Structure formats: C-alpha cells, structure tokens
Amino acid sequence: MDKMHSQKYPESPGPCPTGVGNELFQAIQDPVFVVTPGGIIIDVNNAAINAAKKKQSEIIGKGICAIIHGGSSPHIKCPLENFLLTCSSRVEETTLPGLAGEYLLTISPVKDQDGTVRKILLVARELTSDEVRKADSLRTAQMAAIGELAAGVAHEVNNPITGIINFAQLLLDDSDKDSLQAELLGRIVNEGERIALITKNLLSFARENENNSEPIDIGQVIRDSLSLVEHQCKKDGIKINIEYSTEPCLILGNFTQLQQVILNLLSNARFALNERYPHTSPHKIIEITYWPFIRTESKPVIQICIKDSGTGIPQGILKRLFEPFFTTKPSGKGTGLGLSISYGIIQDHGGVIKVDSIMHQYTRMIIELPSSNT
C-alpha cells in the first residue's frame, strides 16, 4: 500500500497518443484543407485528396485556388485568396471544379494562444441536388434585384445626361468650328453619348425594352450570326464546328436580340482563344451545338451550347459574370455589359443562360429557351 501511495501521477492528462489527432483528421468524410492566410496548402485529409484526384505531393505547397478552382488569370486576384488574407470566418455555397461539384465551403481561422492566425481550416461539404436548386433560385433572385437597381440608376442618369448633350450641342452649333471651345464642346457631346449608351445597355440588362416575339428558327439565328464573324475567325485561325438536330428548333422570340446574344458569346470565345493561343494552333476551335431537349418534369426547350478551349474563367468569379460592369478581360478590353445584356435578353425570353468553365481548359456557355416545336 505504501508503494502505491508513493507512486507519482500527472496533475493533468498528458498529450494524446501519437497519431490519434491525425486519425481523427483523416476520418472526416468531407474534403478538408489546412491553409496559410496567404492561401498555401499545408495539410489535407484523404477525402480532399480523393476529391481532387491528385497525390498529396501534388497538393501540399500549392495555392488553394489552383487546386479547388483550377487557377486564376494573371490580372485577376482570386476572391477566395483575397478573403483568406482577412483571417475571417465565412460559409458560402460555391462551385469547385477542382473537386468536381457544388459545395458548401466553411472557412474557419485557427488562432494561436497569442491570438495570431497562422492556419485556416477549409471544409467542403458537397451539396445535395435540392440545395443546388435552392442556390440557383437565390442567384436568380439576386440578379433580378441587380436588374431593378440598374434600371433605377439608368433612369436617374438618362434625363440629366440628355440635357447635357443637348445644351453642349447648342453651344457647339454657335461656336467657331476651329476654336478650342468647339473642340472641348465636341468632347463633351462624345463623352455624354458614351454615358447615354451605357444607360441604354443597363436598361437592356434590366429587360425594359420591348420584346416583339415571333416564330424563330434558332438555326437561322446561329447561321446569320456566324456569317457576320466568319471572316474574322478565319483571319484568327479559328475553326468553327457545328452540330445540330435535324428536327426543327423553333422558339417564340426576338430575332435581333437573340442574334445579339450569340454574337456576344462568339466574341468572348474568340477573345479567349486568341489569348491562350496568340498564333496558329489546332486547338483554336469553337464548338456550337443546338438541340431540342426535354428535362424531367419540365417543358421542352431548345438547348444551345457554345464551347471554346481558350483561357477559361477563374472559378472564384464565375458567378459574377452576369453582373453589370464585371469583366474578366484586362483593363480597357471589356465594358462588362455584354454578358449582362445577354442574361437580360435570355431571361426576357423565358430561358436561362449558364456558364461552365475550368481555368486553362474550356468555357461552355449554355442557353435553354422554351421550345415552340409542335
């Protein structure tokens, strides 16, 4: 008994046996990444390795955007990596092409005893089909709200800018054409007309233009659009492949507006291909398909896909593509209104427009419009 009482015991439990913490980490079913505030991955669990379809050595030490988003453009900083620098918490629903799915991403900073954040935990739980539909509905509602805001701003700006243009034009008409005053007034008129064009485009995004519907063959819209860009594509060395159904692809809509959408998507595809392949390349191909399509428990639609193998779109900004004035192009090469207007036109036709893209691989724009085939 004396020997037992003389035995020493620790005042508090000691550390866990070696490996127990790692076993718990690896037992988590969802992909988990441990990153630095700078976005560098320092540890992953087996679920993350399996979802990314890479070896651990191909993940550790890489940037988180490169692994879960597929990378980013040189001129665009990944929003996720920007947020990690704040060392804040966040939960968001997002597409992660590097993990091949839609996920609920939970960002949790880990503080040291002195309060410093040196590690951040990212847990990605794959969304169910119902959660994906709910997220899509929420994004649609958000875009509708942005459309209302854009329309309000456009209306408020339109009247005063029209007055500025008219008054400047009156002064210009009474000025000596070779004077400095005439030159400055001419610039005012030109810049005012640029603003007027922007407000017109905002109203187009907000779907406030008239939409005179008539029976339209989508094939004809695409053929007429291609005839306008065919010469430029040949000049750039871009090949266009088309696949389509022998069945009619009829809808009710506005031919000119839909042609505007197709031309905008073709222009973006051409830009992306030329950015990735500045010179001749067999990979400079735009693929166009259009087919009658029936979704389960839904009305038949005509589905149009325009795919290019260009630069791709950074996943971190993919869901902002249709916002007014947001562009993935370098400064001075895009207004950020083309896709916004296209979104508004397709919405006005009762359809949907979606984007699927992986950085440095491809971009696929998908349009679905209600079919009027009988």
- Evaluate whether residue 14 is within a structural domain: no
Q: Say whether pLDDT at 20 is over 50.
A: no
Give the Cα separation of 238 and 282 in Å (integer). 8
- Evaluate whether residue 7 is within a structural domain: no
Domain end among 205, 228, 246: 205
Domain end among 205, 238, 267: 205
The CA–CA distances, whole Å, from 204 to 60, 338, 346 equal 47, 10, 11
Q: Are residues 120 and 145 in the same domain?
A: no
How many other C-beta atoms are found inside a 10 Å radius of the C-beta of residue 65? 23
Average pLDDT over residues 217-229: 91
pLDDT attached to residue 335: 57
How high does pLDDT run on average in the chain? 82
pLDDT band at 74 (very low <50, low <70, confident <90, very high): low
User: What would the two tokens of residue 67 be?
Assistant: 């692994």
Lowest model confidence (mean pLDDT) among 23-27, 175-179, 203-207, 293-297: 203-207
Domain end among 164, 183, 205: 205
| pLDDT > 70 in the chain, percent | 80
CATH of the domain at 313: 3.30.565.10
Let me know the angle formed at the C-alpha of 224 by 219 and 229, rounded to the nearest 5 degrees.
125
Phi, psi of 314 (to 5 degrees): -55, 130
Question: If we measure between CA atoms, which residue out of 96, 116, 97 comes closest to residue 37?
Answer: 116
pLDDT attached to residue 129: 77
Domain that holds residue 165: 132-205
Q: Are residues 201 and 297 in the same domain?
A: no
pLDDT attached to residue 202: 66
Q: Are residues 64 and 195 in the same domain?
A: no
Q: Are residues 185 and 274 in the same domain?
A: no
- Evaluate whether residue 3 is within a structural domain: no
Provide the number of structural domains found in the chain: 3
Q: Are residues 221 and 357 in the same domain?
A: yes
Which amino acid is located at 37 in the chain? P
- Evaluate whether residue 366 is within a structural domain: yes
Q: Are residues 104 and 157 in the same domain?
A: no
pLDDT attached to residue 333: 60
- Please say whether the beta carbons of 24 and 6 come within 8 A: no
Q: Are residues 54 and 179 in the same domain?
A: no
- Evaluate whether residue 319 is within a structural domain: yes
- Please say whether the beta carbons of 297 and 213 come within 8 A: no
Q: Are residues 365 and 243 in the same domain?
A: yes
Give the Cα separation of 121 and 191 in Å (integer). 49
Q: Are residues 246 and 331 in the same domain?
A: yes
Q: Are residues 331 and 315 in the same domain?
A: yes
Q: Are residues 60 and 173 in the same domain?
A: no
What is the value of pTM for the model shown? Answer: 0.60
What DSSP string runs through 4-68?
A: HHH----SS--PPPTTHHHHHHHH-SS-EEEE-TT-BEEEE-HHHHHHHTS-GGGTTTSBHIIII
Phi, psi of 50 (to 5 degrees): -70, -40
pLDDT attached to residue 14: 40
- Evaluate whether residue 11 is within a structural domain: no
Between strands 239-244 and 285-294, the pairing is parallel
Q: Are residues 178 and 266 in the same domain?
A: no
- Evaluate whether residue 13 is within a structural domain: no
Give the Cα separation of 168 and 188 in Å (integer). 7
Model confidence over 271-309: pLDDT tens digits? 999 999 998 899 999 999 999 887 655 688 999 999 999
- Evaluate whether residue 1 is within a structural domain: no
pLDDT attached to residue 18: 39
Which of the pair, 60 or 6, is modelled with greater confidence? 60
